[in-house]
Chains A and B, each alone.
Chain A
Amino acid sequence: MPNRRSFLRTMAGGIALASTGLVGRVRAVLPQGTLESAVLDSLPGKQPLIKRSFRPPNFESPVEVFSDVITPNDRFFVRWHLSNIPRLDAGSWRLAVGGDGAERGYELTLEALKRDFEPVELVAVCQCAGNRRGFSDPHVAGVEWGYGAMGNARWKGVRLKDILARAELKKEAVEIAFNGSDRGPLDATPAFAKSIPAWKALEENTMVAYEMNGAPLPHWNGFPARIVVPGWTATYWMKQVTSIRALSQPLTSFWMNTAYRIPKGKFPLIERFTSQESDSSTPITEILVNSLITNLADGARFPSGQPMAVKGIAWDGGYGIGDVEVSTDDGRSWQSAVLGENYGRYSFRTWEFKFSPPVAGRMSVMARASSVRGTSQPSELIFNASGYHNNVVQKIAIDIA
Chain B
Amino acid sequence: MLIGAGIAISTHGGEAPVKLAPGEHAALVQSRCSICHSLDYIVMNSPFLSRTAWEGEVRKMMKIMGAPVSDSEVAPIVDYLTQNYGIK
Chain B residue with minimal CB distance to A56? B37
Chain B residue with minimal CB distance to A187? B66
Contact indicator A37/B65 (Cβ below 8 Å):
no
Tell which of A39, A52, A55, A138 touches B10, judged by Cβ atoms closer than 8 Å: A39
Tell which of B41, B48, B65 touches A139, judged by Cβ atoms closer than 8 Å: B48
| Complex-state Cα separation, A304 to B21, whole angstroms | 46
- Looking at chain A's contact residues, the main secondary structure is loop
Contact indicator A33/B10 (Cβ below 8 Å):
no
| Complex-state Cα separation, A20 to B36, whole angstroms | 40
Residues of the A chain whose Cβ atoms lie less than 8 Å from the Cβ of B45: 31, 33-34, 141-142, 144
Residues of the B chain whose Cβ atoms lie less than 8 Å from the Cβ of A13: none
Q: Does A48 contact B (CB under 8 A)?
A: yes
Contact indicator A189/B16 (Cβ below 8 Å):
no
Q: Does B74 contact A (CB under 8 A)?
A: no
| Complex-state Cα separation, A52 to B7, whole angstroms | 12
| Complex-state Cα separation, A43 to B66, whole angstroms | 28
Q: Does B23 contact A (CB under 8 A)?
A: no
| Complex-state Cα separation, A36 to B47, whole angstroms | 11
Most buried by A among B3, B38, B47, B85: B3
Segment at the B interface, from A4-12, A113-121, A269-277: A4-12
Residues of the B chain whose Cβ atoms lie less than 8 Å from the Cβ of A8: 6-8
Contact indicator B57/A48 (Cβ below 8 Å):
no
Contact indicator B47/A50 (Cβ below 8 Å):
no
Contact indicator A33/B85 (Cβ below 8 Å):
yes
A38-B7, A40-B9, A186-B66 are contacts. A141–B49 as well, Cβ < 8 Å? Answer: yes
Shortest CB–CB separation between residue B64 and chain A, in angstroms? 5
Shortest CB–CB separation between residue A139 and chain B, in angstroms? 4
Tell which of A42, A43, A62, A258 touches B4, judged by Cβ atoms closer than 8 Å: A62
Shortest CB–CB separation between residue A330 and chain B, in angstroms? 21
Residues of the A chain whose Cβ atoms lie less than 8 Å from the Cβ of B85: 33
Tell which of B13, B37, B43 touches A33, judged by Cβ atoms closer than 8 Å: B43
Interface residue ranges of A5-47 to B (CB < 8 Å): 7-8, 11, 31-34, 36-44
Q: Fill in one digit per residue for B33-55: 1 if any A CB lies within 8 Å of its CB, else 0.
A: 00111101111111111000100
Chain A residue with minimal CB distance to B85? A33
Tell which of A36, A43, A185, A188 touches B13, judged by Cβ atoms closer than 8 Å: A43
A39-B9, A54-B18, A62-B3 are contacts. A31–B36 as well, Cβ < 8 Å? Answer: no
Interface size on A, residues (CB 8 A): 47
A40-B10, A53-B37, A188-B66 are contacts. A31–B3 as well, Cβ < 8 Å? Answer: no
Contact indicator A53/B4 (Cβ below 8 Å):
no
| Complex-state Cα separation, A143 to B57, whole angstroms | 13
| Complex-state Cα separation, A39 to B10, whole angstroms | 6
Contact indicator B46/A31 (Cβ below 8 Å):
yes
Chain A residue with minimal CB distance to B2? A64
Shortest CB–CB separation between residue A131 and chain B, in angstroms? 15
Contact indicator B47/A190 (Cβ below 8 Å):
no
Chain B residue with minimal CB distance to A138? B48
Chain A residue with minimal CB distance to B13? A42
Chain B residue with minimal CB distance to A2? B8
Residues of the A chain whose Cβ atoms lie less than 8 Å from the Cβ of B5: 297
Contact indicator A297/B2 (Cβ below 8 Å):
yes
Contact indicator A7/B8 (Cβ below 8 Å):
yes
Q: What are 10 A-B residue pairs whose CB atoms fall within 8 Å in the complex?
A: A7-B6, A36-B43, A38-B8, A41-B10, A43-B13, A54-B38, A62-B3, A144-B45, A185-B36, A189-B66
Residues of chain A touching chain B, judged by Cβ–Cβ distance below 8 Å, are: 4, 7-8, 11, 31-34, 36-44, 48, 50-56, 62-64, 83, 138-139, 141-144, 147, 184-190, 254, 258, 297, 300
Known: A33-B43, A33-B45, A187-B66. 9 other contacts (CB 8 A): A8-B6, A31-B46, A39-B8, A52-B40, A53-B41, A55-B38, A141-B53, A144-B44, A258-B64
Interface pairs A-B: 5 shortest CB-CB: A188-B66, A62-B4, A33-B46, A54-B15, A63-B3
